[in-house]
Homo-oligomer: A and B are copies of this chain.
Amino acid sequence: MYEIFQKYLDEKAELTQAESERIQSFAIIKKLRKRQYLLQEGDVWKYDAFITQGCVRTYTVDEKGGEHVNSFSIENWWTGDRESLMLQQPSRFNIDAIEDTELILFTHENFEMLCKEIPGFNNMVNAILQRSFIAAQNRIQASLALTAEEKYLNFVNKYPSFASRIPQTMIASYLGMTPETLSRIRKQTAKK
C-alpha cells in the first residue's frame, strides 16, 4: 500500500530519490477494521497519519452520548488530532474507521525530523495545512450562513463521493442536523 503514498509524494512534493527513500524508512503501515478506533477520547495523539485506503471519521461525544462528527477523511488525505499532537494533551476527539482502512503513520518526532531535513517535504506539509485551514474556514462559513437544506446541497456538491459511501446518520451529524431532518431534505430535493 505504500505505493499510494509514494504516488502522492511524487505529485505533491519535490524530492530526490534519496529523500523519498528516507521518508519511506520511517513509514508505519496500519490497518483498521470497520468501527475500529484510531484514536480514543482521552488518549494523546502521537502521529501524522495518511490514509491510503478507506475512510475515517473524527467526532466528539457529549454528556448525553450524542456524537458530533467534526470531519471525514478518505484515501489520499490526512487525519489525526493536531491539537492533541501539538500540545501533547489528551484528545477530546475519537477517530474510527467507517470502512476497513489502511494508513501510513509517522511518529511525530520522525515527522518533524523529516520536515527539518527535507525542505521539499516541509513545503508540502505547509501547503496541506494551508488547505486544511481554508477548508475549515469554509465549513464555519457554511454553518453560519446556510439553512439545513443548503448545507446538504453544498456538501453533496463539494464532496459528491461522500454521500454514497458514508451513512446518512453521520453526514447529518457532520452537517449539524438530525438524521430525520436529513432524510426529509433528501426526499424533498429528490423531487426537484
Q: Which residues of A contact B (CB under 8 A)?
A: 60, 62, 66, 68-70, 82-83, 86, 92, 126, 129-130, 132-134, 136-141, 143-145, 173, 176
> Can you give 23 A-B contacts (C-beta < 8 A)?
A60-B141, A60-B144, A60-B145, A68-B144, A68-B145, A70-B141, A82-B133, A83-B134, A86-B130, A92-B141, A126-B126, A126-B129, A129-B129, A129-B130, A133-B133, A133-B136, A136-B136, A136-B139, A136-B140, A139-B140, A143-B176, A144-B173, A144-B176
- Judging by beta carbons under 8 Å apart, are B136 and A70 in contact? no
What residues on B are CB-neighbors of A137 within 8 Å?
A: 70, 82-83, 136
If A66-B145, A68-B144, A82-B130 are given as contacts, then 16 extra A-B residue pairs at C-beta distance below 8 Å, sorted by A number, are A70-B137, A70-B140, A70-B141, A70-B144, A82-B134, A83-B134, A86-B134, A92-B141, A126-B129, A129-B129, A129-B133, A133-B136, A136-B136, A136-B139, A136-B140, A143-B144
Given A129-B133, A140-B136: A145 in contact with B82 (beta carbons within 8 A): no
Q: Which residue, of A62, A132, A136, has the highest number of chain B Cβ atoms within 10 A?
A: A136
What residues on B are CB-neighbors of A140 within 8 Å?
A: 70, 136, 139-140, 143
Q: Which residue, of A66, A134, A173, has the highest number of chain B Cβ atoms within 10 A?
A: A134
| Assembled-state Cα–Cα distance A18/B126 (Å) | 25
What residues on B are CB-neighbors of A70 within 8 Å?
A: 137, 140-141, 144
Q: Which residue, of A82, A141, A144, has the highest number of chain B Cβ atoms within 10 A?
A: A144
What residues on B are CB-neighbors of A66 within 8 Å?
A: 145
- Judging by beta carbons under 8 Å apart, are A143 and B141 in contact? no
What residues on B are CB-neighbors of A126 within 8 Å?
A: 126, 129
What residues on B are CB-neighbors of A139 within 8 Å?
A: 136, 140
What residues on B are CB-neighbors of A92 within 8 Å?
A: 141
List the 3 closest A-B pairs by CB distance, nearest first. A136-B136, A68-B144, A68-B145
